[in-house]
Chains A and B, each alone.
Chain A
Amino acid sequence: GNSVTQMEGPVTLSEEAFLTINCTYTATGYPSLFWYVQYPGEGLQLLLKATKADDKGSNKGFEATYRKETTSFHLEKGSVQVSDSAVYLCALSERGATNKLIFGTGTLLAVQP
């Protein structure tokens, strides 16, 4: 079945460091891919998305490219801030009637000043 695998956390970085959170997927067909962010005590917010191969999603300085050949959707940011501290969840949407989301396990990012 479809699945999403994320790198385990927590990831601890200093402010202005470069961020990469790895995400790979297994899916039949061509799913849409998403990154969600969850700040402490809140629900999930959609951070960015890509709907087809080679698409690049971007938002708030974060980027991720849909790589079909490596079945990956790694999240990157060039310079993290303390306010980026949160849980990041990678997800895919199954195409078809259900369109259910399959989530990875989430990666906790802690940015220190």
Chain B
Amino acid sequence: EADIYQTPRYLVIGTGKKITLECSQTMGHDKMYWYQQDPGMELHLIHYSYGVNSTEKGDLSSESTVSRIRTEHFPLTLESARPSHTSQYLCATQWSYEQYFGPGTRLTVT
């Protein structure tokens, strides 16, 4: 089973600030994903990576960016936070057909 860590768990920040949401995993899995979860619970894929130096945009357009310089690390960055970015952000890794999720970061932009 994968160990996936996300920090911070909760973040309240003002409009216009730059933020980075951290995601790390200890299992050496190549595939990693970022999802945005609505208050209505639906998950939207916003970014994914199939390995080091590989990143792709997901099904939902997002102003965030990601990087994958190391296998175990997949941070998500917002250059200028806006209230519309308020959401829950979930990171996941995949082995075979199964995905394993971190605890999530709940972001509130005021």
Contacts and interface: CB of A to CB of B under 8 A. Distances in A.
Given A43-B90, A43-B104, A44-B90, A32 B97 contact: yes
Best-buried of B45, B90, B99 by chain A (most CB within 10 Å): B99
Interface of A is mostly: strand
A99 interface: yes
| Tier of interface size on chain B | 20 to 34
Interface in A8-52: 32, 34, 36, 38, 42-46, 49, 51
Nearest to B104: A43
A110 interface: no
Given A99-B31, A100-B48, A46 B98 contact: yes
Interface of A: 32, 34, 36, 38, 42-46, 49, 51, 87, 89, 93, 99-101, 103, 105-106, 108
